[in-house]
Chain A
Amino acid sequence: MASMLLNSLRNCPVCPAWAVQSAARSLSTTVQLQAQVQTKSKKTLARPNVKNIVLVEGVRTPFLLSGTTYSDLMPHDLARAALQGLLHRTAIPKDVVDYIIYGTVIQEVKTSNVAREAALGAGFSDKIPSHTVTMACISSNQAMTSAVGLIAAGQCDAVVAGGVEFMSDVPIRHSRKMRKTMLSLNKAKTLGQRLSLLGSIRLAHLSPELPAVAEFSTSETMGHSADRLAAAFGVSRVEQDEFALRSHSLAKKAQDAGLLQDVISFKVPGRDIVSQDNGIRPSSMEQMAKLKPAFIKPHGTVTAANSSFLTDGASAVLIMSEEKALAMGYKPKAYLRDFVYVSQDPKDQLLLGPTYGTPKVLERAGLTMSDIDVFEFHEAFAGQIMANLKAMDSDWFAQTYMGRKSKVGTPPMDKFNLWGGSLSLGHPFGATGCRLVTTVAHRLQKEGGQYGLVAACAAGGQGHAMVIEAYPK
């Protein structure tokens, strides 16, 4: 009922956003566009002889600023909490799941296959194989699409995918020279050899090596690149602060309204029960304006307030073939449809993944921007989002760098990240992807839309986009 109402609203021909868009487009597409105004380009993305793959449930631990309540845990503890939350929500038998995949970026060396450790710790059957993937900020997207692939190929029917990131503790190594000495020490046979090795240690060898936040290929930190990207697209400091403020305000609203249903409560050993994200801090433009640039000094525009913060958190989703889900009596939340991965210049276009991914995935699905009811884009930096929006709105960019005939267009802001985003909710690198997909599913249910779009950028100049279709009620 609600969806019918919304549909008719969308069909309203005087909706100003449409008017602007169709005016800006060339004549030939206008005709097509008007057809879209009335109905979706496609009733469903279901295809004959292609398995329908569904999202049954998605949960996440509260996302916390790193160094807060989670600080004494280990990464697999967080992943375990997310898995247990999923088990609890879905009540799925612990041996029905065929496979478990987790995404993570900064790996704890003791649990390099964190998926396996977390699965065992969460009480899943030890007969379920698990592996860990890494693809920077789209690691859990990769976990989910790997799951989709396993199901589509008929290898599995039920797969748990998830992601975890734990920034409260990161592996800090000895310097290379020190490591070399220590390894040689292992092999040294005589006391003399050992002493001479020990004697070769210099003070400088003791300086530790931190995990790099910089791109390996360019040695540029992501914040620096984001600042340059914002400047390249002429995104002002005010625009960025406004967007960040929007993200925090919307997140706060969603949190207060109880919309963030994917968050599970987590009893941290020795601490309180955590049941809310703690990075949501709506501030004022004046307050934000006071901050100094964090990366490019003194004239940069990216600050701590308009960037996503270091976050601890984990997420998990249950993905199944539609048949299996229905057979088990589940009511799926959404179909996971077409997806793409893209990659581009890691120096000057590091964070433009959404710009490249969006038109490509829409094309695959046979949809246009106007078919999408719910947008969930990963907000790495406010400047990065604004730059992507400008790039998506530029014919010149589309033609010159993407080899496309015209721009894809920008998502309308009244459909965009309405429950907050990575800037406010937090961004545990490996876990964000699942949050985006689950949020799209929940928003589609809540808002009554049919199609949702997830897009995200990632280090290495890569990106991802996925189309999600609401499960009929």
Chain B
Amino acid sequence: MAGVRAAGVFSRFANSKYSLLSGHASRSLSVSSSVAARTHVSYELKDDVAVIRLNDPTSKVNTLSVQMQAELTEVMGEVWSNGAVKSAVFISTKPGCFIAGADINMIQACKSSEEVTSLSREGQKMFEKIEKSPIPIVAAINGSCLGGGLEFAIACQYRVATKSRKTILGTPEVMLGLLPGAGGTQRLPKMVGLPGAFDMMLTGRNIRADKAKKMGLVHQLVDPLGPGLKPAEERTIEYLEEVAVGVAKGIANKKVSLTKEKGFMQKLQDTVMGLGPVRKQIYKTVSDKVQKQTKGLYPAPVKIIESIQAGVEQGGEAGYVAEATNFGKLAMTSESRALIGLYQGQVICKKNHYGTPEKEVKKLAILGAGLMGAGIAQVSVDKGLTTILKDTAVDGISRGEQQVYKGLNDKVKKKALTSFARDTILSNLSAQLDYSSFKSADMVIEAVFEDINIKHKVLKEVEAVIPPHCIFASNTSALPIKDIAAASKRPEKVIGMHYFSPVDKMQLLEIITTDKTSKDTTASAVSVGLKQGKIIIVVGDGPGFYTTRCLAPMLAEAVRVLQEGVGPKRLDALTTSFGFPVGAATLADEVGIDVAAHVAEDLGKAFGSRFGGGNVDVLKTMVEKGFKGRKSGKGCYIYGKGKKDKSVNPDAEEILKKYKLAAHPAISTDSDIQYRLVSRFVNEAVLCLQENILRNPVEGDIGAVFGLGFPPCLGGPFRFVDSFGAERLVGIMKRFEDIYGNQFTPCQLLLDHAKNPSKKFHK
């Protein structure tokens, strides 16, 4: 058997010598004829270098799936047993992806932490073999090299990466509530130093190639090529391979050194890091920081620190054992499940489920150059949409244009964009006061003041100048779209596009369709949103749609809690310790007290006493006094010039005292307050699903987390009900209902789930 394989290798060797000249056609031929059984991994010899190519034909990205691992092991066995091979190169032939990570399904399929631990051990062993390979192995990286892919690459002896924008390295496991479980926690500290390794693994951020080179994560960079005799990307991969093969040969005949001469700073840093107390201090600092940021709600960062520490302090084997054990434990946590659920939901919400629109939107017009309008303009010009930003006043336009410029220029400052690219992008923007050239617009998004009369006025004005195919989208946060569409001559072209502030930071876009909105209009809106880089949920029409409707009862409860004498600071502490990234009082200030008052009143009218709780007059009084939140400098808090200093607004506390309510001691413990806030949110979300405002729980979870900051560790309201238990939640709500009435009455769907524990929103 081995003999046959060896012969095969040699015959291919002979082939490849000639195929160097004739190029691709003969090469692929030689591979396909010799290894018919393997589909993911193939290899050929280029002189004495084994070039191992990865490509998962069943997916857009390469993952370390069972199949991939099996074929890799097989191929490596052949390569190592072939005496003619002096070095090897790993490369992916998939454009834009080296290896995007481990296969999540593989982990999800496991039933126990022991099972996951053994998966991790296997991965560790495989990479250990690569690390101890008798021949040097070069990883040639183009595109995403993440998670398991990065762990694979850092097990190799040398790394060459393209400078392509798509080339990113990182360990995003922490964002899935996991840790790098195939040696990452052990190898990274040695490679990039303790602080660098902590930073990478605890933030999970993506590192671009040039940064990776500086950190010592890759050895050599290759420039991406433009078009030549083949498409740019194809030729770039070939070129990367040529360079990597050259390096591999160089390492094999000792012309390229694997150890880099350490600079003075590096040596100094190593010496300092060699001191036990220094390291101890680092562990402590990092742990404290993690504790402060996660409030103990996320177990993964803690386990990552533990695993790194075990490796550094107790040596390799202990480290690997700790890594594998912790990986197993983490995989079974509800937090990890919630985060993986969010990741998968996000993937779903980044697809257009409504088909390709008949006419692609190329020219977008935005009405109102306020915070929202300009924000929408920024994310649009950024993606090459020709954009008109229209306002009624020169001041408004000037402010709006400046906002777009600043948004882009901040990227220049961070070196994510060149000043030249910024200018080119800005050339897509046309700021104007009139409706000129609206006649060639494909879509108009209005972001004018939230008043139905003004909305009707602009709708009519716009419809007089736009072409028949042009879509009219309203960026309203609460007004029902059908009420806006009532003034339209063509309601099938009217849709809601609810962006979140700040538009360039918030990933969510809530699209609202009425009964009359055509499918093509929806497809267009989704397609524009996707182009703008948004995660999209599509919901039915109604007061407050989905997101605003969930938030309103929670804020109403927050106001009541404030009226009951809980200060804004304590309220914030209670909500953030539950997992909300922003406290309820701060959130109200961010949203704007006036907006909150407006929404509370509108939705209060629409839904009646269920939306009661806090007294709307509290908010109204605050608005009257000019406490509109952050934008006016005063709200629940007073905002100073520096971003950090904020103190409670004593005048607002005065108002709260005026509207003081007596707290019910039976339901006013810290935990009770938290559940009063959260249960109203969750109940309203479930009701939205019950009333078909939401199409499915996935979009409900995504909308709540990405739009409203629902605790990501809980995975969204629906996953929260699943993991917390509907019965338990209903029990708690009943206790509140006894005192406050229908605001806490669980909806029918929630009751159904409580009755039948086998009913789950997520499978």
Contact = CB atoms under 8 A, between A and B. Distances in A.
A231 B229 CA distance: 10
A348 B233 CA distance: 12
A398 to B, nearest CB: 11
A389 to B, nearest CB: 12
A216 B227 CA distance: 21
A394 interface: yes
A216 B228 contact: no
Interface in A360-407: 387, 390-391, 394, 396-397, 400-401
A218 B227 contact: no
Contact of A345 (B225, B226, B228): B226
Interface string B550-584: 00000000000000000000000000000000000
A349 B229 contact: no
Contacts of B227: 232, 348-349, 397, 400-401
Given A387-B228, A401-B227, A231 B420 contact: no
A387 B225 CA distance: 13
Contact of A234 (B222, B228, B232, B418): B228
Nearest to A387: B228
A347 interface: yes
B223 interface: yes
A299 B222 contact: yes
A111 to B, nearest CB: 29
B659 interface: no
A397 B227 CA distance: 8
A232 B235 contact: yes
Interface in B192-241: 220, 222-223, 225-232, 235, 239
B75 interface: no
A232 B420 contact: no
Nearest to A300: B223
B608 interface: no
Nearest to B229: A394
Nearest to A224: B223
B226 A348 contact: yes
Interface string A294-318: 0010110000000000000000000
Nearest to B231: A400
Interface string B512-533: 0000000000000000000000
A228 interface: yes
B243 interface: yes
B427 to A, nearest CB: 13
A305 B226 CA distance: 24
Contacts of B222: 299
A234 B229 contact: yes
Q: Interface size bucket, B side?
A: 10 to 19
B757 interface: no
A347 B235 CA distance: 16
Given A216-B420, A232-B235, A390 B223 contact: no
A390 B243 CA distance: 21
Interface in A389-443: 390-391, 394, 396-397, 400-401
Interface residues of A, number: 27
A232 B246 contact: no
A399 to B, nearest CB: 12
A233 B229 contact: yes
Contacts of B418: 218-219
A217 interface: yes
Given A217-B420, A219-B418, A299-B222, A232 B243 contact: no
Contacts of A232: 225-228, 232, 235, 239
Contacts of A347: 226
A229 interface: yes
Nearest to A299: B243
Interface in A175-219: 216-219
Interface string A19-51: 000000000000000000000000000000000
Contacts, number: 59
Contact of B226 (A349, A390, A394): A349
A217 B230 CA distance: 25
A227 B247 CA distance: 18
B232 A348 contact: yes
Nearest to B247: A299
Given A218-B420, A219-B418, A299-B243, A397 B229 contact: yes
Contact of B225 (A218, A219, A228): A228
A57 B531 CA distance: 58
A347 B163 CA distance: 14
B420 A390 contact: no
Contact of A231 (B220, B239, B246, B247): B239
A224 B224 CA distance: 12
A218 B421 CA distance: 9
Contacts of B246: 299
Contacts of B220: 298-299
B228 A233 contact: yes
Given A216-B420, A218-B420, A219-B418, A228 B243 contact: no
Nearest to B236: A232
Interface in A327-374: 345, 347-349
Nearest to A295: B223
B90 to A, nearest CB: 18
Contacts of A401: 227
B46 to A, nearest CB: 15
A373 to B, nearest CB: 28
Given A231-B239, A232-B235, A390 B225 contact: no
A216 B423 CA distance: 12
B226 A296 contact: no
Nearest to B418: A219
Interface string A252-289: 00000000000000000000000000000000000000
B229 A228 contact: no
Interface in B243-274: 243, 246-247
A390 B232 contact: no
B232 A228 contact: no
B226 A228 contact: yes
A391 B223 CA distance: 20
Interface string B409-444: 000000000101000000000000000000000000
A396 B223 contact: no
Interface centre among B225, B228, B235, B247 (most CB of A within 10 A): B228
A238 to B, nearest CB: 14
A390 B232 CA distance: 15
A201 to B, nearest CB: 24
Contacts of B239: 231-232
A396 B230 CA distance: 8
B67 to A, nearest CB: 33
Nearest to A345: B226
A396 B246 CA distance: 28
Contacts of B223: 224, 227-228, 231, 296
A219 B232 CA distance: 20
Nearest to B238: A234
B225 A396 contact: no
B357 to A, nearest CB: 27
Contacts of A217: 420
A401 B227 CA distance: 9
Contacts of B230: 396
Interface string B380-403: 000000000000000000000000
Contacts of A296: 223
B144 to A, nearest CB: 22
Interface centre among A299, A387, A400, A401 (most CB of B within 10 A): A299
Given A231-B228, A299-B243, 9 more contacts: A218-B418, A219-B418, A224-B223, A228-B223, A232-B226, A232-B227, A299-B222, A391-B228, A401-B227
Q: 9 tightest A-B contacts by CB?
A: A348-B226, A232-B228, A232-B225, A233-B228, A299-B243, A217-B420, A231-B239, A394-B229, A228-B223
23 contacts: A218-B418, A218-B420, A228-B223, A228-B225, A231-B228, A231-B239, A232-B226, A232-B227, A233-B229, A234-B235, A345-B226, A348-B225, A349-B226, A349-B227, A387-B228, A390-B229, A391-B228, A394-B229, A396-B230, A397-B229, A400-B227, A400-B231, A401-B227
